[in-house]
Amino acid sequence: MKKELIFEGNEKRVYATENPDQVIFHFNDVIVAYNNVKRARLKGKGILTNRISALLLGYLNECGIPTHFIERLDDREQLCRKIEIIPLEVVVHNRMAGTLAAKLGVEDGFKHSNTIVDLCYNNDELGDPLVNNDQAVALGLATYEELDVMLGIARRAGKLLTELFHKIGIELVDAKIEFGRASDTGAIIISDEISPDTCRLWDEQTGERLDKDRFRLDLGDVIPAYSKVLERLESK
């Protein structure tokens, strides 16, 4: 049973439940970019991200990757394990795109032979800066042991998601993965969502962008692009 609201963000609301170790995520129709500088409301967007994230997190659970996802309740809500947020983002890159490409002076979409894993401080006011392990520990964000677990999980999850998307003709260019400490066990688990809001997804045949870059870059057709991702995932 859904109880009081315990967190309200731009794209999601989180509610308490009768179980102190479980919460309900409600996905809104808001889309934001550039650390909330750009925002809009797109009808049906929350339904798409909820359903896509449920499929992807459920798949990772099945593969033995621990996430907060328990089950999808309806079109906009899912039941999740309650976590203590770790304010770090692990970004897995299969190509250099967006900010990373611009920073390193390479063409957007530059294909490299290795997998790049970045660690960022999840702080909008600071622009989510890159940090290393020592800096994260110095700031009290995580321990070295927790960072090892997070980075290991992110690499495995990135590989699994890359393979899954390839089966449906989509290239996973990069993926932002967030983590938390499970309130019941203290274990490090994937939290928040995995969707076109948090990943760059390009059609393997056409190069069409099927992710939030359509909003960031004013390409239009955000909802049709997200719908393509969901349709392919559901048909696999």
Q: What is the pLDDT of residue 17?
A: 98
State residue 156's pLDDT score. 98
> What pLDDT score was predicted for residue 36?
84
User: Residue 235: its pLDDT value, please?
Assistant: 94
Return d(Cα 94, Cα 60) in angstroms, integer: 18
Query: Tokens standing for 206?
Result: 């056409």
Residue 236 has pLDDT above 90, yes or no: no
Domains of the chain by start residue, with CATH? 2-81 (3.30.200.20), 83-221 (3.30.470.20)
Q: Give the three-state DSSP class for 94.
A: strand
Chain segment 173-200, per-residue pLDDT in tens: 999 999 999 999 999 999 999 999 999 9
Would the CA dihedral through 210, 213, 215, 220 be positive or negative? negative
Residue 35 has pLDDT above 90, yes or no: no
User: If you average pLDDT over every residue of the chain, what do you get?
Assistant: 97
Neighbours of 2 (CB within 10 A): 14
SS3 204: coil
Rounded mean pLDDT of 45-56? 98
100 CB-near residues (< 8 Å, 6+ apart): 93, 116, 118, 174
Question: Does the pLDDT of residue 40 top 90, yes or no?
Answer: yes
Mean pLDDT of 197-220: 98
Question: What tens digit of pLDDT does each residue of 60-102 get?
Answer: 999 999 999 999 999 999 999 999 999 999 999 999 999 999 9
